[in-house]
């Protein structure tokens, strides 16, 4: 595997931070300075600042993310992160993003290659959201959500959209997306004239939150991990 992926698997740092360590000359492989394109095998000796590091066992965790927690491994502003909610050894990091004010299903892992594939739009991993919006979307608004919305970064992919509950001042929608742009659900709903009031991701790649209260997490089963790998190689 690439050197940055090995460092992430060893719990040293995220891939991006690992690239910074490598570029700064702080990482060696078999006594020689590591490079960004260095590939590490099972017999190679990797050290950071002279201290040997080793890959850790793969781990896969599903978190019921509460609101007010940021989806990142570390936050320059000092806000609480999802990694702090999962005091897990080996260290796991979030796959993709979920808005700070949103709740719901979030996968964390130290399996860098799998995380990369799950986050890649090529595989169209399914994400299901329950969205409270202002007003009552009509059929035209739902049709636009299903067909795709033109945003400032291009047309969105076709999505599933249906009304779960209708109220006099707000409605509850279910949106099923297969891509993960920044603030995508909010931007799509804004584009059809219905601002998001509450956002909850009920399922991610077929994983739901049954049995998990807000802030709780669990290890994935072997079958669930197999399912994730199958989803990201189709």
Q: Enumerate the active-site residues.
A: 99
Cis peptide before 90 (omega within 30 of 0): yes
Crossing angle for the helix pair 139-147 and 184-191, nearest 10 degrees? 140
Alpha-carbon distance of 119 to 131, in angstroms, equals: 21
Alpha-carbon distance of 187 to 173, in angstroms, equals: 14
Kindly report the backbone phi and psi dihedral angles of residue 222, in degrees, each rounded to the nearest multiple of 5, phi listed first.
Answer: -60, -40
**Are residues 36 and 4 in contact, defined by beta-carbon separation less than 8 angstroms?**
yes
Element (H, E) at 4: helix 3-9
Residues 6+ apart with CB under 8 A from 96: 71, 107, 118, 119, 180
Residues 6+ apart with CB under 8 A from 217: 61, 62, 63, 64, 85, 86, 108
Alpha-carbon distance of 196 to 186, in angstroms, equals: 6
Alpha-carbon distance of 194 to 178, in angstroms, equals: 21
114-124 burial: b if 16+ Cβ within 10 Å, else e: bbebbbeeeee
């Amino acid at each position: 595997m690439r050197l940055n992926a090995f460092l992430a698997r060893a719990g040293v740092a995220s891939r991006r931070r690992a690239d910074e360590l490598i570029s700064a000359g702080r990482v060696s492989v078999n006594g020689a300075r590591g490079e960004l394109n260095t590939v590490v095998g099972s017999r190679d000796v990797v050290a950071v600042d002279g201290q040997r590091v080793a890959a850790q066992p793969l781990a896969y965790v599903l978190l019921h993310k509460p609101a007010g927690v940021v989806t990142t491994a570390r936050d320059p502003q000092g806000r609480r992160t999802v990694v702090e909610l999962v005091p897990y050894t080996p260290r796991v990091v979030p796959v993709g993003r979920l808005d700070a004010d949103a709740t719901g299903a979030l996968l964390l892992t130290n399996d860098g290659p799998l995380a990369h594939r799950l986050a890649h739009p090529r595989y169209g991993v399914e994400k299901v959201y329950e969205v409270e919006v202002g007003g009552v979307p009509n059929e035209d608004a739902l049709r636009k959500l299903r067909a795709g919305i033109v945003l400032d970064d291009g047309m969105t992919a076709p999505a599933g959209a249906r009304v779960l509950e209708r109220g006099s001042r707000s409605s509850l929608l279910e949106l099923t997306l297969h891509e993960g742009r920044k603030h995508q659900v909010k931007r799509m709903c804004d584009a059809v004239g219905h601002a998001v009031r509450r956002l909850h991701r009920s399922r991610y790649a077929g994983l739901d939150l049954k049995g998990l209260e807000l802030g709780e997490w669990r290890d994935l089963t072997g079958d669930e991990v197999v399912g994730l790998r199958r989803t990201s190689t189709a």
